[in-house]
Structure formats: structure tokens, C-alpha cells
Amino acid sequence: MKLEVEKELVRWKEAWDKTQECAVNALTVALPGLGASKTPTYCCPVTLSIDRPNELGTGRICVDDDIKATVELDSSPNPVIAEAVDALFGIAWFDGADGPLGDEGPGTYNYDDEMTGGEYEVELGTDGAGRVYIACVPVGFAVEFLDALSTAQDNQRKRATPV
């Protein structure tokens, strides 16, 4: 390989590593309790996990080689999911929702983002806890969603705490 090409390839790799590092930092700041996790051999180069039962559930976030994120959270409170979705996207944005998501009740609600190719699916469970699955979205979109979840959780706590 030509020396000039090799130097530029090293510069590119350093920039890519820095971008991955910044992606991880943004995700972990957006969702407190999210941290580094061992990455399974079949998975993306970066895997983060959350394990906060009775808070925002359990799950993981993966960041792939294209700096796209996949978010999988289970046992998240339905009101938190509904508030986050409505705050971030607006009322009745997801398929199957004709009004505020919190008023829709248990079920699975989807949105496919044609611009980014991302897929969003939220399930409001019958037991008060649901599931969030977001596939292949730019890291910035995942950060916004996780921040909306964290903000909704804070709002729910404030409403539950008597003044």
C-alpha cells in the first residue's frame, strides 16, 4: 500500500473510532443507567445494556459499523413509553394510534421512517409494562428517543410524588 494511502486510512480509522466514542457518550448521557456491555460475537461492535428493574426496564442498545443504533428495551412502564412517543413524534404518529398513545391501551404500534430506513415498534403491555424496539436508526435519533424516555420517566415520578 502506498504510504500516503496508508496514512489516510489510519486518519480515517482514528476519526471513525472517535465517532463511535461520541455515539456511546451521547447514548449513555441520554439514558442514565446505560453502560458498556460485552458484545456478543454475532452483534455490532458496540453494545450497551440497561438493567434498572422498576425504572426503565432491561435491554440493550447496539451501534453498528455505520453508526446506526438498534434499541431493545423490555419491561418499560407503559405511561413512560406513551409519553415519550407522543412528546417526540406528536399525537397519533404511529400506525394504530388515533389519539394520544396513553389513551390507546395495550397493543403494538409501529412507525417506519422512510427517510432513514429506521423502524420503530412500541408495545404497550396488558400488565402495565411494554417493549420498545427501534431498528437501524441514526444514533442521533436513538439519543433523542432515549432522552424522551428518560424525561418521561422523570415526569411520571414528579406526578407520583405528592407535594
Q: Name the residue with cell 412528546.
A: 87
Provide the grid cell at 15: 476519526
Structural domain for 141, as ranges: 3-160
Cα-to-chain-centroid distance, residue 152: 14
52 and 99 Cβ atoms separated by less than 8 Å: no
Give the per-residue pLDDT at 82.
96
How many domains does the structure of the chain reveal?
1
- CATH number, residue 17: 3.30.1460
Q: Assess contact for 136 and 115: CB atoms under 8 A.
A: no
Question: Cα separation of 50 and 61, whole Å?
Answer: 8
Place of cell 408495545: 123
Each residue's pLDDT expressed in tens, for the chain with a length of 163 residues: 899 999 999 999 999 999 999 999 999 999 988 888 877 667 788 889 986 655 788 899 999 888 899 999 999 999 999 999 999 999 999 999 999 999 998 999 999 999 989 999 999 999 999 999 999 999 999 999 999 999 999 999 898 887 6
pLDDT confidence of residue 155: 94
Q: Residue 73 phi/psi, 5° resolution?
A: -125, 135
